[in-house]
């Protein structure tokens, strides 16, 4: 059974000031988790975690992670701007290219970030846009299928990302001829897996690729980025990833493959947004309606616009009815939001304790790819984000949107002025 990191008493006090729905993050849990990761890879002197900004792009959380020694993995102009504003500069930033506009390459190079190229054709595109930096990284796509223990984890051959090996080799040579001096290698072959064999297996593939490139081109990579992919146990019965075991597995592959080939000083990087923040954020919502027709429904004040993963992927998120943690789960419910879409459900046929209107529900494991994936369909507004501090108080780290935020991009129009006037007349805050 999953246990929330916040109590009912704490939530009641929080909701006196901040109405639901809102996201709540656990500072203590986040810091401790980053330190576990760093300890697991402490055998590598150059190890660094580049937190995937897309997972949870909040400057307060990024600043917290910066204090813990993390860098940032960015994938867009605005993510680069956010990282820069928080104080990440130079090699603190990894910029992963993917169908990238020229202005994003220009900004990444201006900030001194490490550019991770996605395709062979991007080499000349980057050269023309802003020049080739001395440090460069390339994303590898080995093709085929990626398997562990006879289970297919991913199909790289069907993925739009990365260089196949022949293009990778040619790309390294071309980049060197253009002035690149320090090279990195990157790959991402599985998403959200708690299989402890994933990272060591991926590391083996990248380490052997680095050795082959060294033998064929004379280029020794300086760093290898294992990217993300280590997941979290969304379901209570799932076994969590063992980060100590994973770190040791990567170390063994490093010693077996890289060291004998003379590649003894390769830095290891990771991009573990979900692993770091996922379990330490939740969506807090209130039951506001109940409906008894062909099924039993509980309507809450959050919706898929606040957390889209269940609607989009059918993803499971555990739900705790606060104050009823030890009550029998003897009621079968669909937990729904208010969107005009029938897939706007946080749970389907979920066995839970009896839910009454006014009950507070905690939707677990929403700390990554939760608020970040919010949207405004039906004119629904994105919720606030709060940080539960290590010493107990709660800090507002993103206010809830207002109707005027929704209309703000119409500020040049007569309609916006009418709406702003009507907001005041209607007493909407």
- What is the per-residue pLDDT across 371-389, written as a single tens digit (0 to 9) for each? 999 999 999 999 999 999 9
Q: At what angle do helices 59-67 and 77-86 cross, to 10 degrees?
A: 60
What pLDDT score does 162 carry? 87
- Give the CATH superfamily of 279-400: Lyase, Ornithine Decarboxylase; Chain A, domain 1 (2.40.37.10)
Average pLDDT of every residue of the chain = 94
pTM: 0.93
Annotated catalytic residue within 70, 282, 329, 340 = 340
Question: What's the whole-number mean pLDDT along residues 150-168?
Answer: 73
DSSP states along 249-292 = HHHHHIIIIIGGGT----EEEE--HHHHHGGGEEEEEEEEEEEE
What pLDDT score does 410 carry? 82
Give the residue among 24, 40, 8, 16 at the shortest CA–CA distance from 270.
40
Question: What's the whole-number mean pLDDT along residues 48-66?
Answer: 97
Architecture of 89-271 per CATH?
Alpha-Beta Barrel (3.20)
Is the confidence at residue 159, as pLDDT, over 70? Answer: no
Determine which helix (DSSP H) or strand (DSSP E) holds 387, and give its type and residue range.
Answer: strand 384-388
- Find the radius of gyration of the CA atoms of the chain: 23
Give the residue among 125, 236, 137, 135 at the shortest CA–CA distance from 179.
135
- What is the per-residue pLDDT across 115-140, written as a single tens digit (0 to 9) for each? 999 999 999 999 999 999 999 999 99
Strand ranges inside 8-142, DSSP E: 22-26, 48-52, 71-74, 93-96, 114-117, 135-139
Q: Are 302 and 345 in contact (CB under 8 A)?
A: no
Question: Domain residues of the chain, as ranges?
Answer: 89-271, 279-400, 401-429
- What is the per-residue pLDDT across 32-51, written as a single tens digit (0 to 9) for each? 999 999 999 999 999 999 99
- What is the per-residue pLDDT across 282-312, written as a single tens digit (0 to 9) for each? 999 999 999 999 999 999 999 999 999 999 9
What pLDDT score does 350 carry? 98
**138 is known as an active-site residue:** no
Rounded distance, CA 429 to CA 418, Å? 16
Tokens of 251: 């170390």
Q: At what angle do helices 77-86 and 102-110 cross, to 10 degrees?
A: 20
């Amino acid at each position: 059974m999953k246990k929330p990191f916040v109590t009912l008493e704490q939530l009641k006090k929080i909701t006196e000031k901040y109405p639901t729905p809102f996201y709540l993050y656990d500072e203590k849990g986040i810091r401790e988790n980053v330190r576990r990761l760093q300890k697991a890879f402490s055998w590598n002197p150059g190890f660094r975690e580049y937190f995937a900004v897309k997972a949870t792009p909040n400057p307060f959380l990024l600043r917290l992670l910066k204090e813990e020694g993390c860098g940032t993995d960015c994938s867009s102009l605005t993510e680069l701007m956010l990282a820069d504003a928080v104080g990440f500069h130079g090699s603190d930033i990894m910029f992963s290219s993917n169908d990238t506009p020229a202005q994003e390459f220009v900004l990444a190079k201006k900030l001194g970030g490490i550019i991770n190229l996605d395709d062979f054709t991007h080499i000349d595109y980057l050269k023309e846009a802003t020049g080739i930096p001395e440090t460069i990284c390339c994303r590898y796509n080995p093709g085929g299928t990626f398997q562990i223990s006879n289970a297919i984890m991913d199909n790289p051959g069907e993925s739009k990302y990365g260089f196949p090996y022949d293009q990778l080799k040619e790309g390294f040579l071309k980049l060197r001829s253009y002035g690149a001096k320090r090279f990195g290698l990157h790959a991402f072959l599985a998403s959200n897996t708690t299989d402890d064999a994933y990272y060591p297996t991926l590391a083996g593939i990248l380490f052997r690729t680095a050795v082959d490139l060294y033998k064929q081109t004379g280029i020794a990579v300086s760093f290898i980025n294992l990217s993300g992919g280590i997941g979290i146990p969304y379901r209570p019965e799932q076994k969590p990833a063992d980060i100590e075991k994973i770190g040791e597995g990567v170390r063994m592959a490093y010693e077996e493959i890289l060291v004998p080939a003379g590649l003894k000083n390769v830095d290891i990087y990771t991009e573990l947004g979900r692993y770091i923040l996922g379990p330490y954020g939740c969506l807090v919502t209130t039951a506001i309606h109940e409906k008894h027709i062909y099924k039993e429904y509980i309507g809450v004040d959050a919706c898929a616009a606040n957390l889209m993963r269940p609607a989009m992927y059918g993803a499971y998120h555990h739900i705790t009815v606060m104050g009823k943690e030890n009550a029998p789960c003897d009621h079968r419910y669909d937990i729904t939001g208010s969107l005009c879409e029938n897939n706007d459900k946080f749970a389907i046929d979920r066995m839970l304790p009896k839910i009454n209107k006014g009950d507070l529900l905690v939707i677990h494991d929403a700390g990554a790819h939760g608020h970040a994936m919010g949207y405004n369909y039906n004119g629904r507004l994105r919720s606030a984000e709060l940080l539960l501090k290590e010493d107990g108080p709660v800090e507002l780290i993103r206010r809830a949107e207002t109707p005027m935020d929704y209309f703000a991009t119409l500020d040049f129009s007569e309609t916006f002025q009418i709406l702003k006037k009507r907001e005041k007349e209607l007493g909407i805050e």
